[in-house]
Structure formats: C-alpha cells, structure tokens
Chain A
Amino acid sequence: MQTRSSETLLRRTFLLGTLGGTSLGLISLASRRAAAAEVTLLETGSTLLYPLFNLWVPKYTAMHPGVRITTQGTGSGTGIAQAISGVAQIGASDAYMSTAQLKKNPGILNIPLAISAQTVNYNVPGLNNANLKLSGPVLAGIYSGKITHWNDAAIAKINPGVSLPNHGITPIHRTDGSGDTFIFTQYLSFSTPEWANNVGYGTTISWPPVQGGIGAIGNPGMLQACGQTPGSIAYIGVSFHEQIAKAGLGTAMLQNRAGNFVVPNPTTVGAAAAALEGKTPPDQRISLIFAPGENSYPIINYEYAIVNSKQASPDVAAAVRSFLNWAVDPAAGNAPEFLGPVQFLPLPEKIAALSKAQIAKIR
C-alpha cells in the first residue's frame, strides 16, 4: 500500500504533466498557424453594402489563400468609427465623411466601390402591390408627424384614383449610425427646404417627435419592423430587394428633381449616376442625391470603403490594396455576377480610375 504522501505526489505529477503537455501542444498549434503568415482583414460597417461583401469575400479568398477577410454588418457609423480607430482595415459606409471629420482625421480615404440605391418601402394593406407615389415634401411631412394617416390630402393629391385607407402611418427610422439615414435625409433636405432648415441630414439626426415612431437597427431590422407593422413606412437599401419582395412590402415611386415619379431600376439609377459622375472630385466625396434628369432616381449613392492610408504593416496594406483593386475591377468585383443580385451598378470608368488612384495611396 502506498503512503498518502507518495499517492498525492503521483497524482500531482500526473496532473501537472497532462496540463504541461496540453499547453505545449496548444502553443505549438498556434505558432504553426502564425507561421503561415496569414493576413487577416476586418471589414465592418454599412448593412447596405454587407450583402455584396458577402458575395465578394468567398470568391476573393478562394483565389487568394493568404488572406482572411471577416465581414460584419454594423452600420455606416460603426464602419467610419472603426476605420478611423484602426480596429477595422476596411470600413464600409454609404456616407462620405464630413470635411470637419477629415480635418480631424487626415489620411482617411473615401473610396467608392459601386453605385447603390435606396428604396422607400411601406406596408399598407391592399396597396403593397401597387407603387404608391411619394414625394420628398410628403415624406418629410410623414417623418415630422404632420401627415399622420395614409388618406391624408397631400398623399391623395399625388396619387389620383388610388383609394387610400384611413390607417395611421408609423414612420420607421434607423437608430444606429446609418448611411441609409444619411442618404434618405439628404433627399428630404434637398427636396424640402423646411426639413433642411429644421432637421438637416446626417448618419444620425434628431428625428422629430412622432408618437409611435419606431427606431430599428440595421437594414434587416427596418425590413422586419416594416413587415410586422401594418401602416408603416421605412427606407431600406436596394440590396435587400429580394427580402422586400418576399415580405410583400410595397415599393414607392419617388419624385425626382424634374418632378417625375420614378421606380428604382437600373435605368433610372443609371440616369442619375450619369448626370452627376462628371462632377465627382478627386477625393470622391460627393452626394448623388436628387440628381437632375427626367428619368433620374433621386436616392442613389456611391458605396464607400473608408480606409486609412496608413495601415499597420506593408503586408496588410498590400492585402487591402489587392482586395480593393479586385473589387472595383469591372471584370472582377464590379462584374454583373456580383452586382446583379444586389441590384447595384458598376462604377463608371472615370470613377473607377479615381478609386484606383486613391487605392494606390494606401501604404
């Protein structure tokens, strides 16, 4: 029979041995991983751009095995903030940075990757198959609480012959820092002087108090809240058009600068892009909202990658440049096989060239 002390000694040695062996094994596994010299990139931000990144990343990483890219849909505000702080290498945003923000953070690039659009969707029983006509002033009235029911005179005036129900309107907006809010409120500001003076635009604004108005998080949250709430209206990115159709929501025809009501489709979005692409400055920060033209769709925008021109290491910078160049290439990332499912438009040649010039600055 062994004495108690030698029993304990044996048990302790066995335990310590197992622990030591396991930790050595784990450490060697981890170091083998690190020795493979993989570059990991984090992309975070716009939920409008998120579905496209999820199409890009698997294809790209299959062709480039040394790079791992993680995607997140967290809102354009987060994308900009994390690109500035360095947590994310690529921040996705539907909104460009303000001049004051650029002054505070010099060296951040706003690089367009594609042209996207936004739809205004509603859930009105009986009218979800028709395309209700809505204008900027009417939308401003809805979101500021002046228009409270669907059969309001202002809505009836631009929809002659449509029988509108006496149902309350629930306006749904984004609570998180959102590029969708930015482009939607820019449309309201550019088309309605009263909104521009009292509320303004931004990735987040002080929404006028509307009793019952809902805040949702992310495009998926907007979609779900609108689908669940009869009488609601929401602004949702066009990359969610399939889910919008599945949820049975109606898509509004919006009034453009020329006064015509247009549906969002590649023709109308392309018309708006063509009208304003010539005015794009070298730093590519420009609003494409409320473009002139008979057939232009009023809510379109460049999808930006917010990238710090100074990256953590030359390897990371090279990986970021390689990915972004692939993304804006019309034969690769900007090809119809990727942009088609999300209903984005490819960058015009001149804009793609400007993007490539900015990408080259990433070191």
Chain B
Amino acid sequence: MRKSPFRIGLVGLAGIIPGMLIAVVLFLAIYSWPAIHFNGIGFLFRETWNLGNLYADPVTRRGVQVPIGAQYGILVFIIGTLATSAIALLIAVPVSLGVAIFLAEGAPPHLRPALSLIVELLAVVPSVVYGLWGVAVLVPLIAHYIAPALDSMLGFIPFFAGGSPTGFGLLSSSLVLTLMVVPIITATIYSALLQVPRPDKEAAYALGAMKFEVAVRAMLPMVRGSIVGAIILGLGRALGETMAVLMVSGGAINYLPGTITSPISTMASFIVSQLDSAEQDPTGMAVRSLAEIALVLFIITVIVNVIARLITKGLHVGLASRA
C-alpha cells in the first residue's frame, strides 16, 4: 500500500494531539524530577507546605539545594480537589439526569430547542464569571442562610455542624463546580437519550409503563455507557477547574477541612496562588514542587478516566451478553 502524501499528512496532523499530550507529561516529569527525588512518596501524605526561609542561605539536603526548613506536602490539596469534585458530582448527577430526562421526554417538543440551548449556554459561561457570582452572591448566602440551616437541621453530624463565619470554603467551591458541571453532563445524556430508538420506547408504553417509568426503566439503562462517559467529562472539568474555585475556596493551607464549610484549597487553585511566591525561591525547588503537583493532578485525572473506561466497557459487555 502506497503511503500517499495525503495519508502521511493526515497521520501527522492527527498525531499532533497525542504528541502534545506526551510532550506535556514528559516536560512535567523531567522538570519536576529533582523535586520528586527530594520529596519522595511522603509528598502525597504530608499536610505541611513550607517554602522554608527564603531570606537565608540555602542548604543541601538529599543532594539538592533547598531553602532552610523547606518541606513540601500536598495532602491538603489532594483532599480539597477530591472532596470538591465528589460533592459537586453528588449534587450534579441527579440534577443533570432529571434535566436531561425532562428535555428528552417531558418538555413540549416545540420548546425543546430553546430549553436545550439555555442549558448549553450555561456551559459556555467563563469560569471567572461563576467565580465572581460565587463571591458576590453565593458566599454571603452560605454565610447567612445555608450554613446556619445546615447547622440546625443536620448539626448532630459533626461534618455539618458549626455554621460558617465567612462562607468561603468547601461548600461554596462545590456548589460553583456543580453549576459548571451540570450543563456538560446534561447535554451529553440528552443527546444520548435522543438516540434511543422509537420502537424500544413504544414497546415500553405498550407494556403499560407511565412516562416516568419509560424514561427511567427503559431508556436510561440503554444509555448507561453515555451516562458514565458524561460523568467522567464532568469530573474532568471539576478536577481541573482553577479560577472559580480560587475565588471562593478560602485558600486554606496546612490544615484539612473539618466541616463542610471549612476553607479548602485545590491543587489547581494552589498552583495559581503560589506560583509567584515560588519564583522567589532562589534554589528553584519550590517551582519544581509546583510542577510535581501538576503531574500528580494529571495522574489522578488519567486514573479516573481509565476507571471510567473500564466501567463503560464492563457495562457494554454486560448489555451485549444480555442481548
């Protein structure tokens, strides 16, 4: 088979994307290698992030030059990232399923294009706008109404007790992430629901199912793979979201959140807020540790994606074997 220039050109262009991905990962790994070597595996489990004394002379530890007292640990940020994404998904998935089912089955057919456009517009709003809205509206709302309500209704659970003097924290970050993730999940599930063949729906109606039962019992199981894919898309956005979380998270450092309204920091927001401070480090170890945080975030995202694909494959195999 002749390799035409057309084919070579196409393959080259297509290869740019995985090429860029590999380039980014290689850059992160190579740039942060001294930090990986210095920090060890304890990096993932230490709570304290300390740049050390940047105004004294650096010392040599473990073979590299670092400021005195430097110790890097990102447990706080890993927990912050995973907690905000988990809570965001916990709220977003049922809401998105409801909206998608409503759009596909419940809405009047002539309104469907307009309603689905509104949902997609939510996805286009820049994250900074969500952050500004969060600071101006959501944070005072949490401080004055939502946190006291949670405290009075669910206060027997320590996680929900205590109220919130500021409103900045885990709850506000999760709610902002929920808003950003719902349109993505909804749009994906909605387009999958539209693909469900009519004969299958009509068969369910013929068996006497109500509208709601048709949607939940007959249609949703057929789009299981798409639902998982949608959740993963949403999770990907939630894990990597930087600006909006930076503005409402409260910028906690060196302590783990105790309640749902505690201030937190996520890995992405921490990199942004610390980068210029890290550049003050004359040894450069701080910036390399930030690159290591980016590498860890990337690895977590890849792991989550792989798990999702395995789940999807398992679901498809299950469906196929049943059919």
- Selected from B263, B280, B282, the residue in CB contact (under 8 A) with A177 is B280
How many B residues, CB 8 Å from partner? Answer: 39
Tell whether, in the assembled complex, residue B280 and residue A207 are in contact, meaning their CB atoms are under 8 Å apart. Answer: no
Cα–Cα distance between A215 and B254 once the two chains are bound (Å): 12
Which of B7-15, B107-115, B161-169, B224-232 is the contact stretch? B161-169
Does A101 lie at the interface of the complex (its beta carbon under 8 Å from any beta carbon of B)?
Answer: yes
Known: A100-B58, A204-B51. A177 touches B277 (CB 8 A): yes
Residues of B within 8 A of A77 (CB): 276-277, 279-280
How many A residues, CB 8 Å from partner? Answer: 43
Chain B 35-57, CB-CB to A under 8 Å as 1, else 0, gives 00000000000011111011111
Does B255 lie at the interface of the complex (its beta carbon under 8 Å from any beta carbon of A)?
Answer: yes
Q: Which 10 pairs from chain A and chain B are nearest by CB?
A: A215-B251, A204-B277, A209-B255, A177-B277, A206-B50, A77-B276, A175-B251, A81-B279, A78-B276, A175-B273
Tell whether, in the assembled complex, residue A98 and residue B54 are in contact, meaning their CB atoms are under 8 Å apart. Answer: yes
Does B80 lie at the interface of the complex (its beta carbon under 8 Å from any beta carbon of A)?
Answer: no
Cα–Cα distance between A210 and B262 once the two chains are bound (Å): 11
- Beyond known contacts A98-B280, A230-B165: 12 more, CB 8 A cutoff: A77-B276, A77-B280, A175-B253, A175-B274, A200-B53, A204-B51, A206-B254, A207-B254, A213-B252, A217-B247, A225-B166, A229-B143
Residues of A within 8 A of B58 (CB): 100
Smallest Cβ distance from A226 to chain B, in angstroms?
10
Residues of A within 8 A of B277 (CB): 77, 176-177, 203-204
> 5 A-B pairs, CB-CB below 8 angstroms?
A176-B273, A177-B274, A206-B49, A209-B253, A231-B165
Does B98 lie at the interface of the complex (its beta carbon under 8 Å from any beta carbon of A)?
Answer: no
- Selected from A74, A204, A216, the residue in CB contact (under 8 A) with B274 is A204
Cα–Cα distance between A40 and B252 once the two chains are bound (Å): 38
Chain A 81-108, CB-CB to B under 8 Å as 1, else 0, gives 1001000000000000011110110000
Does A170 lie at the interface of the complex (its beta carbon under 8 Å from any beta carbon of B)?
Answer: yes
Does A211 lie at the interface of the complex (its beta carbon under 8 Å from any beta carbon of B)?
Answer: yes
Tell whether, in the assembled complex, residue B69 and residue A214 are in contact, meaning their CB atoms are under 8 Å apart. Answer: no
Residues of B with Cβ closer than 8 Å to A? 47-51, 53-58, 69, 135, 139-140, 143, 165-168, 246-247, 250-255, 258, 262-263, 265, 273-274, 276-277, 279-280, 282
Residues of A with Cβ closer than 8 Å to B? 74-75, 77-78, 80-81, 84, 98-101, 103-104, 168, 170, 175-177, 200-217, 224-225, 228-232
Residues of B within 8 A of A103 (CB): 282
Known: A202-B55, A205-B51, A214-B250. A75 touches B276 (CB 8 A): yes
Smallest Cβ distance from B176 to chain A, in angstroms?
16
Smallest Cβ distance from B301 to chain A, in angstroms?
24
Smallest Cβ distance from A16 to chain B, in angstroms?
25
Tell whether, in the assembled complex, residue A177 and residue B276 are in contact, meaning their CB atoms are under 8 Å apart. Answer: yes
Residue of A nearest to B254 (CB): A209
Point out which of B56, B165, B277 has the most chain A C-beta atoms below 10 A from its C-beta.
Answer: B277
Residues of A within 8 A of B56 (CB): 100
Cα–Cα distance between A213 and B252 once the two chains are bound (Å): 7
Cα–Cα distance between A206 and B72 once the two chains are bound (Å): 10
Tell whether, in the assembled complex, residue B251 and residue A212 are in contact, meaning their CB atoms are under 8 Å apart. Answer: no
Cα–Cα distance between A213 and B55 once the two chains are bound (Å): 25
Residue of A nearest to B263 (CB): A214
Cα–Cα distance between A204 and B277 once the two chains are bound (Å): 6
Cα–Cα distance between A168 and B277 once the two chains are bound (Å): 30
Tell whether, in the assembled complex, residue B246 and residue A217 are in contact, meaning their CB atoms are under 8 Å apart. Answer: yes
Residues of B within 8 A of A211 (CB): 255, 258, 262
Tell whether, in the assembled complex, residue B263 and residue A176 are in contact, meaning their CB atoms are under 8 Å apart. Answer: no
Tell whether, in the assembled complex, residue A200 and residue B69 are in contact, meaning their CB atoms are under 8 Å apart. Answer: yes
Smallest Cβ distance from B131 to chain A, in angstroms?
11
Residues of B within 8 A of A168 (CB): 165
Cα–Cα distance between A177 and B49 once the two chains are bound (Å): 14
Known: A170-B165, A200-B69. A213 touches B263 (CB 8 A): yes
Cα–Cα distance between A216 and B139 once the two chains are bound (Å): 14
Residue of B nearest to A217 (CB): B273
Smallest Cβ distance from B22 to chain A, in angstroms?
27
Tell whether, in the assembled complex, residue A202 and residue B54 are in contact, meaning their CB atoms are under 8 Å apart. Answer: yes
Cα–Cα distance between A232 and B165 once the two chains are bound (Å): 9
Tell whether, in the assembled complex, residue A98 and residue B252 are in contact, meaning their CB atoms are under 8 Å apart. Answer: no
